[in-house]
Amino acid sequence: MIAENGAKDSDILLELEDIHMAFGKVIAIVGVSLKIRKGEIHSVIGPNGAGKTVMMNCVNGLYRPQQGNIFFKGEKINHLKPYERAKLGISRTFQKVEVFGGMTVLDNIRLGRHIHLKSGIVSGSLYMGKTAREEIEHRKFIEEEIIDLLEIEHIRNKPVGMLPYGLQKRVELGRALALEPELLILDEPLAGLNLEEVEDMARFILDVNEGKRWQVTCLLVEHDMGVVMDLSDKIFVLNFGNTIMDGTPEDVQSNPEVIKAYLGEEDLYATRR
Amino acid sequence: MSTTFLPCSVYHENYAQDHGWWQTTFITGKMILLAVVLLGVIPYFADMYSLSVCNQIGYTILGALGVQLLIGFCGQVTLGHAAFIAVGAYTSTLLILEFPWPKILITAGLAYPISILVAAIVAGLWSVLFGLPSARVKGFYLILTTMAAQFITVDFIITQYVSQIGGRGQAFSLPPGTIKIGPWVIDNDLKVYYLMLVLVIICVIGIINLLRSRSGRAWVAIRDNDISAEVMGINVVWYKLMAFFVAGFIGGIAGSFWISNLAAISPEHFPWFWSLWLVGVILIGGVGSIHGTVFGSIFMVVVIELLQLAVIPLADIYPKLLIDFLFIKEAAFGLAICAFMIFEPNGLAYRWWQMKNYFNLWPFSY
């Protein structure tokens, strides 16, 4: 999975170049640069308040960095709004689940297909011919590719707001996948899950990243060191807005600065197990 | 509460069946029965008074549909919907009275249908204009900007300027025979009733279809969580404005329908209280439900009519009741909303859903 060091630039899916972001006088991230290659799982770790989520929000357009450039597939996307970036193929899940509570699981995932659907106000209100066919085609996709993958058949008609947290996280992943993204940002997908759900979710992430059907590049923010070390191809360490290092899991584990800032002196990265 | 359980032994073999409107023959039968009642039984047996109550219900449904779309499905709280109904009514009236229609269209009876369409579009665009602040403001602040729509449109523009067109004074009266669709002159409650049925059915079907296609889902997503809606590729501002357009469009249809029932229209037909009333209708019926819109409309109109019937005999004993009826009506409105907020915040539609599920799952309700 890891691209060789000498790989050419077209392999780079997302590139952050010297990003600075401050809220008033609170400086969130300082001069962060990051390159994500196609097919990687690239993790971002760091203590709370390090600026990980700010970085994610910069990538998908919820925040505009004051300085620096963001390139997606070689194109500069600084000026694009979140929904325009979604059309390019950037999808994400949130740290605190942000599902559409009043809609059913199926409708949540259908909503993820929004950019692939074509009907408008007039054709939608008539719901004939093309629109009806389109809905059925996409339903087929959702059932066969997503609901089947994530094993949520039994809850497909339940309103998401009534589901337990673990399933909401799974629905959120399903919704993000429905977009058929090239880059999937996972902001703490394992937070608040029990051990079994963590294992399931890690398996889904691997399926999505390695499965022939998907091959989605993942940008993962996570505190569970065991999972991060196991899944990631590359790890990026952030501390109070500053880059500490960017390297393979082995390098990160042996880096004294990382240990000092985040991992701790003891063997803490296996906390959950 | 969006989906009901299917009864035992009913299952689907393909997605088209699952997407279907009427999934069992029982439901199809029920809908045919409803059509027979609406088209045959009610007009045949009802007297003119009951028909006028039905028309009032239809008008309330048409008005409340737009409010339901904005508040219940798109989460944009509006308190100025009467303004868009007024725009529809006035556009339609002015077109009929002032527009130099070619003779051919008048004799073919197309002037009124065309004016309905134009009125709907004008009201929709007018609504978009007042929906523009929704790009920036949410919640309570948006309520105030939509209230501004009411006061600017009805109390200022329509009363001060539009009403003066043609020098007719405050009220525009429509000469008999001007409201004509094809060969039919709409001149009694029965014909208004049929017109109402056609318009209500078209609008309800249109909204239901919208809600199960791309735009409707985008609206509901914006209601539930606008940030993640935007991240999932929805142009939030565009879809909010679309919601305002469709709501105004249906409001325009409601307004231009209502002129067929009124001999004359004046700004007093569209007070701010009517906007508030429509919000009350959807609160009682159930926010976020098309059934709720219909149930709420029926409930509100029928309760007020029953109150009126109750007040008339009592007035012999205590004559002041008749004079005070307007206030009794408003008090009943307030009380009904309080009662529903406390005892059934999900509205009548929720009760309907519970009932349906009860019968679908009977006798094994677990």
Query: Of the ranges A162-176, A257-271, B131-145, B282-296, which one carries the lowest mean pLDDT score?
Result: A257-271
CA neighbor of B223 nearest in space, from A40, A15, A100, A219: A100
Q: Which residue of chain B has the CA closest to A84?
A: B233
pLDDT digits over B117-160, tens only? 999 999 999 999 999 998 888 888 999 999 999 999 999 999 98
- pLDDT at B327 exceeding the cut of 70: yes
Q: What is the pLDDT of residue A2?
A: 45
Which stretches within chain A are classed as H helix? Answer: 52-60, 82-88, 105-112, 121-126, 130-141, 148-150, 165-178, 195-210, 225-231, 249-254, 256-258
pLDDT digits over B38-58, tens only? 998 999 998 999 999 999 999
User: What pairs with residue A104 in β-bridges?
Assistant: A159
The whole-angstrom distance between B216's CA and the closest CA on chain A is 8
Q: What is the pLDDT of residue B319?
A: 80
> Rounded mean pLDDT of A101-113?
94
Q: What is the pLDDT of residue A273?
A: 44
User: Which residues have CB under 8 Å from B107's CB, separation 6+?
Assistant: none
CA neighbor of A34 nearest in space, from A185, A230, A173, A180: A185
The residue extents of the domains of chain A are 1-89+181-273, 101-180
Q: Between helices B139-150 and B81-98, what is the axis angle to 10°? A: 30
- pLDDT at A268 exceeding the cut of 60: no
Chain A, residues 210-269, CB within 8 A of chain B, namely none
User: Which residues have CB under 8 Å from A214's CB, separation 6+?
Assistant: A177, A207, A208
CA neighbor of B249 nearest in space, from B57, B94, B85: B85
Q: What is the pLDDT of residue B177?
A: 83
Q: Is the peptide bond before B363 cis (omega within 30 degrees of 0)?
A: yes
In this prediction, residue A199 has a pLDDT band, given cuts at 50, 70 and 90, of very high
Q: What is the pLDDT of residue B329?
A: 83
Q: What is the pLDDT of residue B328?
A: 83
Three state DSSP letters for B216-238: HHHHHHHHHCHHHHHHCCCCHHH
A104 touches chain B (CB under 8 A): yes
- pLDDT at A6 exceeding the cut of 50: no
Contacts of A89 in chain B (CB under 8 A): none
Contacts of B224 in chain A (CB under 8 A): 99-103
Q: Which residue of chain A has the CA closest to B220?
A: A103
- pLDDT at B194 exceeding the cut of 60: yes
Q: Is the CB of B245 less than 8 angstroms away from the CB of A121?
A: yes
User: What pairs with residue B181 in β-bridges?
Assistant: B184
List the single residue in B1, B210, B232 with the smallest CB-CB distance to A179: B232
How many residues appear in chain B? Answer: 366
Percent of chain A with pLDDT over 70: 93
The residue extents of the domains of chain B are 25-361
Contacts of A175 in chain B (CB under 8 A): 232
In this prediction, residue B312 has a pLDDT band, given cuts at 50, 70 and 90, of confident
Contacts of A119 in chain B (CB under 8 A): 213-215
> Rounded mean pLDDT of A240-256?
90
CA neighbor of A169 nearest in space, from A99, A86, A90, A272: A99
The b-or-e profile of A58-68 (16+ CB within 10 A means b, else e) is bbbbbbebeeb
The whole-angstrom distance between B211's CA and the closest CA on chain A is 8
Q: Between helices B111-131 and B236-258, what is the axis angle to 10°? A: 140
- What count of Cα atoms within 13 Å lies in the side-chain half-sphere of residue B247? 37
Q: What is the H or E stretch that residue B326 is in?
A: helix B325-343
B223 touches chain A (CB under 8 A): yes
Output phi, psi for B220, to 5 deg: -65, -35
DSSP characters over A24-80: TTEEEEEEEEEEEETT-EEEEE-STTSSHHHHHHHHHTSS--SEEEEEETTEE-TT-
Which pTM was predicted? 0.92
Q: What is the pLDDT of residue A3?
A: 44
A–B CB contacts, 8 A cutoff, strictly below: 119
In this prediction, residue A138 has a pLDDT band, given cuts at 50, 70 and 90, of very high
User: Which residues have CB under 8 Å from A254's CB, separation 6+?
Assistant: none
- pLDDT at A228 exceeding the cut of 80: yes
**Are the beta carbons of B346 and B1 closer than 8 angstroms?**
yes
Question: In Å, what is the CA distance from B85 to each residue of A247, B59, B250, B284?
Answer: 63, 10, 8, 21
Q: What is the pLDDT of residue A49?
A: 86
- B5: three-class secondary structure by DSSP: coil
Q: What is the pLDDT of residue A39?
A: 93
Q: Is the CB of B227 less than 8 angstroms away from the CB of A62?
A: yes
Contacts of A132 in chain B (CB under 8 A): 16, 19
> Rounded mean pLDDT of A159-163?
93
- pLDDT at A7 exceeding the cut of 80: no
Looking only at the bridges linking them, the beta strands covering A90-93 and B184-185 are unpaired
Cα B124–chain centre separation: 14
* Positive/negative CA dihedral, B227, B231, B235, B239: negative
- pLDDT at B4 exceeding the cut of 70: no
How many residues appear in chain A? Answer: 273
Question: In Å, what is the CA distance from A117 to each residue of A90, A212, B21?
Answer: 17, 24, 21
Chain B, residues 285-324, CB within 8 A of chain A, namely 288
Percent helix / strand / coil, chain B, rounded to 5: 75, 0, 20
Q: Which CATH architecture has domain A1-89+181-273?
A: 3-Layer(aba) Sandwich (3.40)
The 10 Å Cβ neighbour count of residue A211 is 12
Q: What is the pLDDT of residue B325?
A: 81
List the single residue in A100, A112, A121 with the smallest CB-CB distance to B242: A121
A117 touches chain B (CB under 8 A): yes
User: Which residues have CB under 8 Å from B323's CB, separation 6+?
Assistant: none
> Rounded mean pLDDT of B194-207?
95
Q: Is the CB of B221 less than 8 angstroms away from the CB of A111?
A: yes
Q: Is the CB of A115 less than 8 angstroms away from the CB of B233?
A: yes
Q: What is the pLDDT of residue B1?
A: 43
Q: What is the pLDDT of residue B91?
A: 95
Output phi, psi for B20, to 5 deg: -65, 160
Contacts of B230 in chain A (CB under 8 A): 62, 81-83
Q: Which residue of chain A has the CA closest to B21?
A: A127
CA neighbor of A23 nearest in space, from A41, A42, A4, A49: A49
Contacts of A120 in chain B (CB under 8 A): 214-215
Q: What is the pLDDT of residue A70?
A: 95
As a whole number of angstroms, the distance between CA A182 and CA A179 comes to: 9
Looking only at the bridges linking them, the beta strands covering B184-185 and A75-76 are unpaired
- pLDDT at A8 exceeding the cut of 60: no
As a whole number of angstroms, the distance between CA A33 and CA A18 comes to: 5
Q: What is the pLDDT of residue B366?
A: 58
- B40: three-class secondary structure by DSSP: helix
- B355: three-class secondary structure by DSSP: helix
A87 touches chain B (CB under 8 A): yes
pLDDT digits over B5-45, tens only? 777 777 888 888 888 888 888 889 999 999 999 998 999 99
User: What pairs with residue A15 in β-bridges?
Assistant: A35, A71
As a whole number of angstroms, the distance between CA A158 and CA A177 comes to: 19
Q: Is the CB of A100 less than 8 angstroms away from the CB of B236?
A: no
pLDDT digits over B233-290, tens only? 999 999 999 999 999 999 999 999 999 998 789 999 999 999 999 999 999 999 999 9
B201 touches chain A (CB under 8 A): no
Q: Is the CB of B213 less than 8 angstroms away from the CB of A86?
A: no
Q: Mean pLDDT score of chain A, rounded to an integer? A: 89
**Which of the two residues, B135 and A83, has the higher pLDDT score?**
A83
- pLDDT at B174 exceeding the cut of 80: yes
As a whole number of angstroms, the distance between CA B334 and CA B229 comes to: 35
The whole-angstrom distance between A128's CA and the closest CA on chain B is 9
Q: Which residue of chain B has the CA closest to A98?
A: B228
List the single residue in B16, B221, B233 with the smallest CB-CB distance to A87: B233
B7 in the Ramachandran plot: left (φ > 0), alpha (ψ -120 to 50) or beta? beta
**Two structure tokens written together for B73:** 């499905």
Q: Is the CB of A104 less than 8 angstroms away from the CB of B245?
A: no
